Amino acid sequence: IIDLYIVFAVVTALIQIAYVAVVGSFPFNSFLSGVLSCVGTAVLAVSLRIQVNKENKEFKDLPPERAFADFVLCNLVLHLVIMNFLG
């Protein structure tokens, strides 16, 4: 599910880049915030996947709920910044 989510985020970012390639980069801040929100959420999903993966020895002691809570919190902060930057 997480992988699917990551794919979804990345595809959305790519579509936005294609849009900018077509129409130009005005307003640039909006483009950036859109792309970075997708990329950022993809990155957070990746880190969640790493932490939740039972085969990963590094995060053996970390409960997946805790990882999920971090994922939610970081996403909320990311999206606050994104909304501010969106303009």
Contacts 24+ apart (CB under 8 A), 29-37: 29/85, 29/86, 29/87, 30/86, 30/87, 32/85, 33/82, 33/83, 33/85, 33/86, 33/87, 34/86, 36/82, 37/78, 37/79, 37/82
Site for another protein in 17-46 (CB under 8 A): 18-19, 22-24, 26-27
Q: State which residue, 56 or 63, has the beta carbon closest to another protein.
A: 63
Residues contributing to the site for another protein (CB under 8 A): 1, 4-5, 7-8, 11-12, 15-16, 18-19, 22-24, 26-27, 63-66, 68-69, 72, 76, 79-80, 83-84, 86
